[in-house]
Structure 1
Amino acid sequence: MELMRRRLKLGIAVTRRDSWNAPQAFENYRLIMKKVKEFSKRYDFDLVTTDRLPFQDKEVVFGKKTLRIEADTLLTDYEDALVAARYFKQEEIDALFVPFCNFGQEEAVAKLARELSVPTLIWGPRDEMPDGLDWRPTDTQCGLFAASKVLMRYHVRFTYIENCRISDPVFEQQFASFLGTARIVAAFRRLRILQISVRPQQFLGVMINEAELLEKYNIEIVPVTATELFDTVRKVRKEKQDEIQELIQDMERGIDLARLGDKKETLAAIEIGIIELACRYRCTSIASECWHEILSQYDISPCFLFGDINDRGIPCACELDIHAAVTAALAVAANNYTAASFTADLTIRHPQDDNTELLWHCGPFAKSLKEPSVPGYVTESGQGFFPLKKGGLTVLRFDGADGEYRCFAGYGESVEGPLTNGNYVWLTVDDWVKWEKKFIYGPYIHHVVGIFGDFRKEFEEACRYLDLVYDSPDIPERKERSL
């Protein structure tokens, strides 16, 4: 069972200057559409095109001649932009790609992008060598310069791939990076977080401003009581025994649950109950209490099951950290929901290595992230015990204070380190002191979200679209905050 998630929808509107009818423009259009259709399969997104839109024939004055241009599927004037905008809104696209097959039409491009207000990517193929005294066939780069100024006039934020050939590796690299950015933005704009119970009494660090999150970013918080969770779990245990047994069998693949004994059924029932609540309220992420009420009711901690929920594609943060739940939802969106994230404490510096830090928590990491060479297990109290695998890690934190919200992104490598309890990974970075000062001066706390892979560029670009301040270890920290 998992929450519904929508594949990214990318609208594509190829633009050309309608008075420029050199065959090269139409050849560029053919190559662009072929390549992007290939990408839609490779990078798992839905492509929405202008192929069937009712663009009109046009008359264009060119010198002393009036040319009649038959309608095609390319964006060539203001009216085309209006038609395309209506269609793309109807299709609910998440992002827009506007390739230029020649100089393009800057007014139409800017109007379309302004109407849609989604992450917008512009690019045009590198122009061919001039052929003597004949008119150059495309002048694509020139048109991109013109369009970028008009986009700025319309207050449209956009992303740009450098003028290159469609076969150049940089085109695919930057196109794929834009998809990651678009997925982060789409996830942020759909955030609806299930809040189960209340934060631990002493955990002032995870306090949030619920009204401000809604007013500034349309982030919805859906609070439910522990009583509603208990009622749901009770119903699950009564009506869904087959599903409970199936879940236990699935959880036992790759992890030892023997220490739980008869509590395995309880653990599975709680997990199914939490997921049912998330589905009931159409939530995209979960933040739950974990210290008192679940433990008191069932004599088991929900640590491992939180990790298992993450493994099922639903970001789930413990200790009722709403901002961690926000961060986790963005993290898994960045890699197209292909792997789980994890929420950890920044805990201690390595005793011998000044640039290595312990990312740890008491047992809520997804088992899919476990180091394969180490046999993991779940304790009798419900906590996962295993280290994480090796590899590059992006460390993230969305947080705010004084009405300003920031998104921190840093990168490091998971390495071998001293054995400890719970779930953990030792993270090596270039300069840990920069990280430490960044978190001390805030607006962050000790909780971070990790995701395997390097997504710093995608998050930096997403922050531009979301009115968030992008932050990283290399940006000087502010030692004073307004009060």
Structure 2
Amino acid sequence: MSQNIPDVKLGIIAVSRDCFVLSLSETRRKAVVSACTKKGVSIFEAKTTVENEKDAVKAVEEVTKAGCNALVVFLGNFGPETPETLIAQWFKGPVLYAAAAEDTGKDLINGRGDAYCGMLNCSYNLGLRKLKAVIPEYPVGDPKGIAAMIGDFVPVARALIGISRLKIITFGPRPQDFFACNAPIKGLYDIGVEIEENSELDLLVSFRNHKGDKRIDAVAKDMAKELGAGSQYPDLLPKLAQFELTLLDWAEAHKGARDYVAFADKCWPAFPSEFGFVPCYVNSRLASRGIPVSCEVDIYGALSEYIGACITGDAVTLLDINNSVPLDLYTSDIKPKYKKYTIQDVFMGFHCGNTPICKLKKEKNTALKFQLIQNRTLEGGKKPDFTRGTLEGDIAAGEITFYRLHGGPDGSLQAYIAQGEVLPVATRSFGGIGVFAIPEMGRFYRHVLIAKHYPHHGAVAFGKFGKALFTVFDYLGVPDIAYNQPKGTLYKTENPFA
């Protein structure tokens, strides 16, 4: 896993109401740990079972000393509501609460734990103390069920730890008229993200200072190897390598007290002529290593990408929700094979060339190319020179989650999540691009993206990760988490007579 994404070290603490048999909670805890081991989930088992506040202090010290950065508080029976919630207050990391189901109908006297009841008081006390915790959709289960909950918790914990230790480094300001990149800083501070804002000139000076760096040749060779037959501009690779090293060195020198970084960089209109290339391919390489570099100084786009990288442990990308699918293309290539999707359910997601090569189709047109739009405006449509540097190709087919955590103009946070797929349909276009299909996308587009004033950038995770994303956004206290409503369920702004 990338060094820019945290490793989750889980611990589990069992709690027990002092009027219940202590051994019941301990036996059930051991069974959960055993089920986790069988599932391949590593977890440290605290030997201190918590019945009172002193036990809670001791147990938190035990898991902290063991290096745990995420915690499961397990109600093996009813549980002591004050000590068990103080654990979340004292532990420095995300906490999951789960409760034991009863074991057997043959032992409901001494063997009954009432954790089903105890979870109610536990959640009530968490609320009284205004403590954040992850509580599964149905937080009561047998050992195998609890282990599944813990498995689901791992990517959530990874994202929450990463966010709490993240610094977003920007090089701006944003391009003219790109209000999509508006980023009220207060929302970042509210969720524990640090930010460092720099000038595009700072980046240029640092880039020039890396001229002649002895590491450039090795990075350029790695680029050539990655691109293979798509390495159309070998003369450009040393410049791109110089830029990659510039960003990586800046991250190391400027992350300060934080452990993880993401970038939000200005990439046009002045960038190409002054740096001598467009940065898209370098952005794609860093994204594949868990270091998102968002386009057009999109700070919340970079944050969204980073959250996705933590949850998936995989490369993510940032795309424009870009263009409709032409009717003739839909009729010939989509409708006959994918009857469940109407023409309003499909669209093309695009950006100039920042999607990692591992997420593009392996075919001839996947290559290092030039930015067509910038070439028209900056080089008059002539043979490309400083507008080279995009990584282009059709995005590989498969399941995706389109999502964004966004800061509104008033500083409040909002988010959306929509699961769908990239279809194996040729785009016949340029850039890093794909034909996306999301159920009821037309209504989602109108009554979430437009009605709630979202920008054109959305993050893409490759797979179905809506459940984990929703849990993360909910834990962060995002008050408005939208999703693509199924047919028949109206949005608040939707005209019922339409």
Give the counterpart of 1:416 among 420, 424, 445: 424
1:269 corresponds to: 242
2:264 corresponds to: 287
2:191 corresponds to: 217
1:318 corresponds to: 295
C-alpha separation in 1, matches of 2:81 and 2:391: 56
2:275 corresponds to: 298
3-state SS of 1:14 partner: strand
2:156 corresponds to: 181
Whether 1:476 and 2:491 are equivalent positions in the alignment is yes
2:336 corresponds to: none
Q: Please give the root-mean-square deviation of Cα atoms over the aligned residues, in Å.
A: 2.7
1:391 corresponds to: 398
What is the identity, as a one-letter code, of the residue corresponding to 2:491?
P
C-alpha separation in 1, matches of 2:219 and 2:189: 42
Q: Check conservation: 1:104, 1:143, Cα contact below 8 A.
A: yes
Following superposition, the deviation at residue 132 of structure 1 comes to 7.1
Following superposition, the deviation at residue 379 of structure 1 comes to 1.2
Give the counterpart of 2:221 among 248, 272, 278: 248
C-alpha separation in 2, matches of 1:235 and 1:214: 31
What is the identity, as a one-letter code, of the residue corresponding to 2:433?
Y
- What TM-score does the superposition give when structure 1 sets the normalisation length? 0.84
2:411 corresponds to: 403
Following superposition, the deviation at residue 294 of structure 1 comes to 3.1
C-alpha separation in 2, matches of 1:389 and 1:462: 27
Whether 1:370 and 2:380 are equivalent positions in the alignment is no
Give the counterpart of 2:350 among 349, 360, 385: 360
Distance change (3 Å), C-alpha of 1:139 and 1:387: same
The 10-residue stretch of structure 1 (408-417 or 149-158) with the greater mean CA deviation from structure 2: 149-158
Following superposition, the deviation at residue 420 of structure 1 comes to 0.8
1:36 corresponds to: 36
C-alpha separation in 2, matches of 1:25 and 1:323: 43
Distance change (3 Å), C-alpha of 1:92 and 1:225: farther
3-state SS of 1:413 partner: strand
Give 5+ residue unaligned stretches, structure 1: 52-72
Q: Check conservation: 1:16, 1:102, Cα contact below 8 A.
A: yes
Give per-residue Cα distances to partners, 1:159-192, cap 9 Å, x unaligned. 1343222134xx4443222222222222222231
Give 5+ residue unaligned stretches, structure 2: 331-342, 371-387
- What TM-score does the superposition give when structure 2 sets the normalisation length? 0.82
Q: How does 1:225-240 map to 2 (within 5 A)?
A: 225-240=199-214
1:442 corresponds to: 452
1:10 corresponds to: 10
Following superposition, the deviation at residue 308 of structure 1 comes to 1.1
Distance change (3 Å), C-alpha of 1:403 and 1:228: closer
Distance change (3 Å), C-alpha of 1:94 and 1:157: same
C-alpha separation in 2, matches of 1:146 and 1:269: 58
Distance change (3 Å), C-alpha of 1:132 and 1:88: closer
The 10-residue stretch of structure 1 (14-23 or 429-438) with the greater mean CA deviation from structure 2: 14-23
3-state SS of 2:210 partner: helix
C-alpha separation in 1, matches of 2:20 and 2:204: 68
Q: Check conservation: 2:267, 2:296, Cα contact below 8 A.
A: yes
Q: Check conservation: 1:255, 1:376, Cα contact below 8 A.
A: no
Give the counterpart of 1:153 among 128, 149, 156: 128
Whether 1:50 and 2:67 are equivalent positions in the alignment is no
Following superposition, the deviation at residue 108 of structure 1 comes to 1.6
What is the identity, as a one-letter code, of the residue corresponding to 2:222?
Q
Q: Check conservation: 2:419, 2:464, Cα contact below 8 A.
A: yes
Give the counterpart of 1:128 among 100, 103, 108: 103
Whether 1:425 and 2:434 are equivalent positions in the alignment is yes
Following superposition, the deviation at residue 405 of structure 1 comes to 1.1
C-alpha separation in 1, matches of 2:452 and 2:22: 56
Following superposition, the deviation at residue 87 of structure 1 comes to 5.2
Following superposition, the deviation at residue 15 of structure 1 comes to 1.4
Following superposition, the deviation at residue 287 of structure 1 comes to 0.7
Give per-residue Cα distances to partners, 1:356-389, cap 9 Å, x unaligned. 0100011111111112355511115111111111
Identity across the alignment (%):
20
3-state SS of 2:396 partner: coil
Q: Check conservation: 2:33, 2:45, Cα contact below 8 A.
A: no
Count of equivalent residues: 448
C-alpha separation in 2, matches of 1:270 and 1:22: 60
C-alpha separation in 2, matches of 1:133 and 1:223: 61
C-alpha separation in 1, matches of 2:187 and 2:158: 20
Q: Check conservation: 1:413, 1:429, Cα contact below 8 A.
A: yes
Q: Check conservation: 2:444, 2:484, Cα contact below 8 A.
A: yes
C-alpha separation in 2, matches of 1:342 and 1:441: 24
The 10-residue stretch of structure 1 (256-265 or 402-411) with the greater mean CA deviation from structure 2: 256-265
2:310 corresponds to: 333
